[in-house]
Structure 1
Amino acid sequence: MTATTVLPATAAVTSLHLTRLQLDPAHPLVQKDLRNGREMHRTVMSLFPQANGDTPRSDLGVLFRIEPQRHGLIMLVQSFIPAHLDALPVGYSTAADQRSLAPVLEWIQPGLPVRYRIVAHPTAVRGTGATDTRSRRVSLDGQEAADWWIRKAEAAGMDLHPGGTGHLAAPIRLGRSLAHRPVRFEGTATLTDTNAVHSALRYGIGQGKPYGCGLLSLAPHTPTRG
């Protein structure tokens, strides 16, 4: 399954790209990045040396996700412009490919059954006590996380099918603190709202986008006939 990004229907579709990197888990810089979300963010953004301004990641549509594989790790990086692969440290990636996502955009339409995958950080804003007016954002898990995803998927123009799964993904640390507790959601759905799907694919879903959360992947799904 590969990730897709689509501009809102009110805007013209720009050039969209997906970069797939086979990481070397033994490389010291890969290990360093996996231990610290800020370091990983810095490495990902190094692929876009032209980035500037106050919000370079969102301006360039940069989202990424780590995919554990049997023989290593894959990093998917999604962006509005091509990544500069020669910016990676030598040996960081053992294989890489990059392609335009423009052909993928053509099949996005309401009523389409799809497979989905996302590593997201389910959160909620809650007060700290019965008499305390302060609030803080907390991570969700279990049924609360599942309910969060149902709400987010509906807002993203997807009608989830029964049988989807949600499993804790690798935690994301920012220095010594545990900052994000992401959940990997997978399953099938039917697209219901083109504009909402476009927005979710373009901007990602939930918190932690600079650190590997929020990248929604969709692929066509052919339901099994009983």
Structure 2
Amino acid sequence: MTMSTWLVQIAVSPRCTRLFTRGLLNGHALHRDLMRLAGDNLGDQPRKTAGLLWRVDEGPAGLQLLVQLNTPPRIDALPGDLALSARHRDLTPLLDRLQAGMRVRYRIAANATKRHGNATPEKKGKLANLHGADADAWWARKATDAGLHPQQITSTALPDILGPTTRDRHNTPQTVRHGVTRFDGIATITDPDQLRTAITQGIGRARTYGCGLLSIGPLSEPR
């Protein structure tokens, strides 16, 4: 039996002021809030078990949260000050209709990174954020691996998202920051099974903190 996939669209209430810390989206706190949509007793990897992925989109009406998970969402469990409105739908029929050769529009906010190679000892092996043409090339590779052939890529650098606060070797608190690039465009499906896996599991790093959710929609062909 195919596992269902649900999408929740949340219009963020303008009264909710705790989403941002020092002007940046607090992905760590928001993740905790959105996990309330999933069930309890999810084991050692609750986000992965719930299939929770999310993204913040900003439009004329304000901030919108797109949240995806593999179980019917518990909308009533959301914090009262977060959602101005929330609606959900089952994405499974859309995923079941995917076919090779189908042209789609896509959007993903991703943490495009690579590991430092020839660098100073303190940087070697650490992750570096990619920008511009390097970020586009990163997405082209990831899209191909995900069963998509991108015919158009428009990339937009977004503000960093804050992760958890950790402590360095001097016991100084440091808040992890994840770089974010949004990729929009048009692509042709080359492998529907790989694409379904990429949509349900997410792409790239920082999936807990608002990266990796790939959204697609059929492209209306001109008449």
Runs (4 or more) in structure 1 with deviation over 6 Å come to 130-133
Match for residue 78 of structure 1 among 68, 86, 91? 68
Distance 1:133 1:185 in 2: 27
1:165 alignment partner AA: T
2:8 alignment partner AA: T
Bigger mean CA offset, 196-205 vs 216-225: 216-225
Per the alignment, in what secondary structure is the counterpart of residue 27 of structure 1?
Answer: coil
Distance 1:182 1:35 in 2: 11
Aligned to 1:22: 11
Per the alignment, in what secondary structure is the counterpart of residue 26 of structure 1?
Answer: coil
Matched, 1:195 2:193: yes
Per the alignment, in what secondary structure is the counterpart of residue 34 of structure 2?
Answer: helix
How much has 1:204 moved relative to structure 2? 0.6
Aligned to 1:121: 111
Report % sequence identity. 35
Aligned to 2:96: 106
How much has 1:196 moved relative to structure 2? 1.4
Superposed CA RMSD in Å reads 2.2
| Aligned counterparts, 1:104-183, within 5 A | 104-127=94-117, 129=119, 134-162=124-152, 164-174=153-163, 175=165, 177=175, 179-183=177-181
Distance 1:197 1:88 in 2: 30
| Aligned counterparts, 1:29-48, within 5 A | 29-31=18-20, 35-48=25-38
> Structure 1 regions of 5+ residues with no counterpart?
1-11
1:207 alignment partner AA: R
Distance 2:134 2:41 in 1: 37
Given that 1:172 and 1:211 are in contact with CA atoms closer than 8 Å, whether structure 2 keeps it comes out as: yes
How high is the TM-score relative to the length of structure 2? 0.87
How much has 1:42 moved relative to structure 2? 0.8
Distance 1:132 1:180 in 2: 19
How high is the TM-score relative to the length of structure 1? 0.86
> Structure 2 regions of 5+ residues with no counterpart?
166-173
Pick the structure with more strand per residue: 2
